[in-house]
Amino acid sequence: MPAKLSVNLNAVALLRNRRDLPWPSVTGLGRAALTACAHGLTVHPRPDERHTRFSDLPELRALIDDEFPKAEFNVEGYPTEDFLQLVEKHQPDQVTLVPDDPSQPTSDHGWNFVEQQAFLTSIVKRLKKSGFRVSLFSDADPSQVSAARDTGADRIELYTGPYGGCHSDPERAARELEKVGKTADAAMAAGLAVNAGHDLVVANLPALIKRIPDLAEVSIGHGLTADALEYGMAETTRRFLRACGW
């Protein structure tokens, strides 16, 4: 089965937040993506609410529950107590833990699983006790995979920023893709499922899918939202689904 597509709505929320107005509607564009057969929605509610607001979560949870019950809700974030209480309140299907500082404009690196294994293990245990699937944001580094597995997480999400950043350098892109692929191979051999995300676009998705044919999910926001300005959210979602092999 091809990788599922989760549409990240952070960039939509960031655009909305430029004005004290309710548009573009995060929930409305989430509905458009799901109507076009996206498999789920992703948000990353940072403490300063600079894009996704805490008030978006109950609306998106209700959208999925009421209209698209087969879709999944993925919430990303650094596991502060406030974040953990937020996900426990709104019950996403998947919680993706990322190591970003609140001041970062976007996630730009994965966890050091060896150094932070004890910390992550306690968080993963708490989340899994509540019934969540847990994914951990990961650099393309096979040597970290066993420590990631030992946290008890279900999946890793491969940070594909270095691969996506090679859009004008095919040789470098091939090298970065192989790093991502070898990490995925190691993760699957260790019993972890693999997601991927960051700077993925229609042009670079097919090579990623070919290298990692058992990829479980891609979470895509910036590139998808940029394309939606040209093609509309529904058609853009269909374009990305085709790039994933659907």
State phi, psi for 74 to the nearest 5 degrees: -115, 125
Surface-to-core class of residue 28, CB atoms within 10 Å of its CB (0-12 exposed, 13-18 middle, 19+ buried): middle
Terminal-to-terminal C-alpha distance of the chain: 9
- How is residue 72 annotated by DSSP? E
Q: Please give the pLDDT value at position 100.
A: 81
Return the percentage of the chain with pLDDT > 70, whole number.
Answer: 97
Q: Which domains does the chain have, with CATH numbers?
A: 4-244 (3.20.20.70)
Average pLDDT for the chain: 96
Only one residue has tokens 């950043």, namely: 165
Reported pTM: 0.96
95, β-bridge pairs: 75, 134
* pLDDT band at residue 24 under the 50/70/90 scheme: very high
Q: What is the pLDDT of residue 108?
A: 73
| Rounded Cα gap, residues 5 and 244, in angstroms | 8
The predicted model gives 136-162 an average pLDDT of: 98
Catalytic residues: 44, 76, 198
Which tens digit of pLDDT belongs to each residue from 97-130? 999 876 666 667 899 999 999 999 999 999 999 9
* pLDDT value of residue 141: 97
pLDDT at residue 106, as a whole number: 65
Residue 242 has pLDDT above 90, yes or no: yes
Q: By the 8 A CB rule, do 8 and 44 touch? A: yes
Instruction: Tell me the CB-side half-sphere exposure of residue 78, using CA atoms within 13 A.
Output: 17
Residue 234 pLDDT level (bands cut at 50, 70, 90): very high
Q: What is the pLDDT of residues 30-87, one digit of tens each?
A: 999 999 999 999 999 999 999 999 999 999 999 999 999 999 999 999 999 999 999 9
Residues 6+ apart with CB under 8 A from 169: none
pLDDT tens, residue by residue, 201-224: 999 999 999 999 999 999 999 999
